[in-house]
């Protein structure tokens, strides 16, 4: 390879490698296993884009609830968050923590609240994610 061509390849590859290294987890295709209240077990495969990484790590939520997290701390492979999950007639105060690396995420969530007028003293969930690869298949669900 001519010297100028090798230099051009290095100049193209280096910025991509530097940008990828700046993410706390790898953007791409992830398998996520959720366990809610010990009753609901769900596995999904989602495409996590760079712009959604912080939300994916420190703001677990689903399409049913409105989730607000005034406390979100992330760094050094550790996550901590505190906030609320709500929908009509329900409100839960939650806190969670966990660990992450570029290829895995493990979170535990606990809390309390009420379902309509009934107190719910213990809310718990666990979320485990595994990186499947940098490329998302056509038609893959995107994490929002």
What's the whole-model pTM score? Answer: 0.76
**Strand bridging mode 141-142 / 40-48:** parallel
pLDDT at residue 88 greater than cutoff 90 = yes
Segment 6-53, tens digit of pLDDT: 433 333 344 444 444 589 999 999 999 999 877 778 999 999 999 999
Domains of the chain: residue spans and CATH: 24-136 (2.40.128)
pLDDT at residue 4 greater than cutoff 60 = no
**Strand bridging mode 66-75 / 104-115:** unpaired
């Amino acid at each position: 390879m001519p010297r100028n061509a090798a230099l051009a390849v290095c100049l193209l590859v280096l910025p991509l490698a530097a940008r990828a290294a700046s993410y706390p987890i790898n953007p791409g295709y992830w398998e996520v296993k959720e366990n809610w209240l010990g009753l609901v077990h769900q596995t999904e495969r989602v495409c996590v884009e760079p712009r959604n990484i912080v939300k994916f790590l420190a703001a677990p939520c689903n399409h049913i609830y409105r989730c607000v997290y005034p406390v979100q701390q992330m760094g050094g492979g550790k996550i901590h968050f505190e906030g609320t999950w709500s929908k009509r007639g329900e409100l839960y105060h939650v806190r969670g923590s966990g660990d992450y690396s570029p290829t895995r995420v493990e979170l535990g969530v606990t809390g309390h609240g009420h379902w309509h007028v009934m107190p719910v003293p213990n809310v718990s969930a666990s979320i485990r994610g595994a990186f499947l690869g940098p490329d998302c298949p056509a038609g893959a669900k995107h994490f929002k």
